[in-house]
């Protein structure tokens, strides 16, 4: 997969140019920790959002690595939708100290800089490999998982779900793929594109993964099974996002590995209902409305895709959220439509988003101001109420 009191005009747009009535932001609470460049997952059962990894402020007493990367674990916030939207409970999850790597520098930690790198499945929350974003980036080649309590809290320990089957890297053992697009669909986890470097302290220059798309089954105990190679994409990208819904895989945007080009194009491919294999990719007729990378969002309502946050041309944050759906033939997506304006007025970047069941959530990040601080905020848009009452909520 992906929570603030101001009034903003233009939410609930009905098209690229249409504007609906004003929506109200309600200041209702915080995540325990400000954070950016993290990943995010939303549990529709407990109405709880999880913010994992990334950067947290140097002022945080638990951050032993001075604000570069977070090895603490997860923040979570449970959302009460029964009346005015509020965070009814929040806390920190189990520590990730067992997976922290000491490289003797401020690059230590377990970081997820690929915003789409988290998901909830069968009562567990997962965090996928990321990277430190340092000059010689590295990551720990594990997908971590922990149990979700009945109240949405995280009270267990982090476990390596890939201890038997580590995520594959084209260059072989000792390497790790990060900045990839991740998705879960019909009991399988999928990874598309990204870049790779040596694992942990080895780091070094990163390279593109040459169109790589892989998938693996999620076992009954939550562990990840054997990986297989899917049909490759014809492009090399990092920081693109992957969505799979209604039998269609959709890869959105991204950033050139080793370069400076950002993309708005979208690629689609059929996904088998029998075994989940991905077929041949093709260029969609409907590009994203702007360049987009480091984006995150969710799928919902059986056939819809929501891109909720990210960065665009010149590296600035996006100011609007867009959605699309699978076309009637199931072969492509329909044109994108804007359905919300984002609550950070200078453009939201480095946040992470998720959602489901008509509820869409953005956590943390910062705006584009040079002096902007990291945010502990969680914005919620609940579309399950009449338009006049629907609102993004600012938990700041």
pLDDT at 194: 93
Position of tokens 């041949």? Answer: 280
Report yes or no on 107 lying in a domain.
yes
Residue 71: its pLDDT value, please? 53
Residue 134 is predicted with a pLDDT of: 66
Closest to 237 measured CA to CA, from 277, 276, 295 = 295
Is 1 part of a structural domain of the chain? Answer: no
Residue 243: its H or E element: strand 241-245
**Res 66: pLDDT:** 39
In a domain, 2, yes or no: no
Tell me whether residue 20 is in a domain.
Answer: yes
The answer to whether the CB of 227 falls within 8 A of the CB of 165 is: yes
At 65 the pLDDT is 40
| Residue 93 included in any domain | yes
**Which residues span the domain enclosing 175?**
7-395
Bridge partner residues of 94 (DSSP): none
Q: Give me 132's structure tokens.
A: 């430190």
How many residues appear in the chain? 396
pTM above 0.85, yes or no: yes
| Contact (CB, 8 A) for 32 and 92 | yes
Q: Is residue 339 part of a domain?
A: yes
Neighbours of 281 (CB within 10 A): 21
CATH of the domain at 202: 2.120.10.80
Number of domains in the chain: 1
pLDDT in tens, the chain (396 residues): 322 222 222 223 333 333 333 233 344 568 998 888 889 999 999 999 999 988 877 666 554 443 445 556 789 999 998 888 899 999 988 877 777 776 665 545 666 666 678 999 999 999 998 877 666 777 788 999 999 999 999 988 999 999 999 999 999 988 999 999 999 999 999 999 999 988 877 777 788 888 999 999 999 999 999 999 999 999 999 999 999 999 999 999 999 988 899 999 999 999 999 999 999 999 999 999 999 999 999 999 999 999 999 999 888 999 888 999 999 999 999 999 988 888 787 788 888 999 999 999 999 888 888 778 888 898 988 888 765 555 655 543
Query: How confident is the model at residue 70, as a pLDDT?
Result: 55
Which of helix, strand or coil describes residue 99? helix
Does residue 150 lie within any of the structural domains? yes
């Amino acid at each position: 997969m992906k929570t603030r009191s101001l009034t903003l005009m233009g939410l609930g747009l009905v098209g690229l140019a249409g504007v609906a009535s004003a929506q109200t932001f309600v200041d209702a609470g915080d995540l325990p920790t400000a954070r950016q460049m993290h990943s995010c997952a939303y549990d529709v059962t407990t109405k709880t959002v999880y913010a994992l990894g990334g950067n947290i402020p140097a002022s945080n007493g638990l951050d032993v690595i001075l604000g570069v990367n977070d090895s603490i674990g997860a923040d979570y916030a449970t959302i009460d939708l029964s009346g005015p939207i509020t965070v009814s409970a929040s806390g920190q999850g189990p520590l990730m100290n067992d997976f922290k790597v000491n490289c003797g520098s401020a690059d230590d930690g377990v970081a997820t800089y690929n915003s789409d790198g988290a998901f909830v499945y069968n009562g567990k929350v997962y965090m996928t490999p990321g990277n430190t974003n340092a000059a010689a980036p590295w990551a720990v080649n594990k997908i971590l998982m922990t149990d979700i309590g009945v109240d949405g809290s995280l009270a267990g320990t982090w476990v390596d779900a890939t201890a038997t089957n580590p995520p594959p890297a084209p260059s072989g053992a000792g390497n790790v793929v990060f900045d990839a697009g991740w998705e879960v669909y019909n009991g399988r986890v999928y990874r598309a594109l990204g870049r790779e470097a040596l694992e942990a302290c080895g780091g070094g220059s990163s390279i593109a993964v040459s169109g790589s798309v892989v998938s693996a089954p999620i076992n009954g105990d939550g562990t990840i099974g054997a990986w297989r190679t899917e049909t490759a994409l014809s492009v090399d990208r990092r920081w693109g996002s992957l969505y799979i819904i209604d039998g269609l895989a959709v890869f959105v945007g991204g950033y050139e590995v080793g370069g400076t080009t950002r993309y708005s194009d979208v690629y689609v491919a059929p996904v088998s209902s029998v075994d989940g294999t991905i077929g041949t990719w093709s260029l969609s007729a409907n590009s994203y409305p702007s360049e987009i990378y480091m984006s995150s969002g969710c799928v919902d309502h059986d056939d819809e895709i929501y891109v909720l946050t990210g960065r665009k041309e010149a590296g600035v944050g996006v100011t609007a959220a867009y959605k699309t759906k699978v076309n009637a033939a199931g072969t492509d997506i329909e044109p994108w439509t804007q359905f919300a304006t984002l609550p950070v007025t200078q453009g939201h970047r480095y946040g992470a988003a998720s959602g489901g069941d008509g509820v869409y959530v953005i956590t943390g990040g910062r705006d584009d101001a040079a002096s902007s601080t990291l945010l502990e905020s969680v914005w919620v848009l609940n579309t399950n109420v009449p338009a006049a009452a629907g609102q993004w909520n600012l938990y700041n």
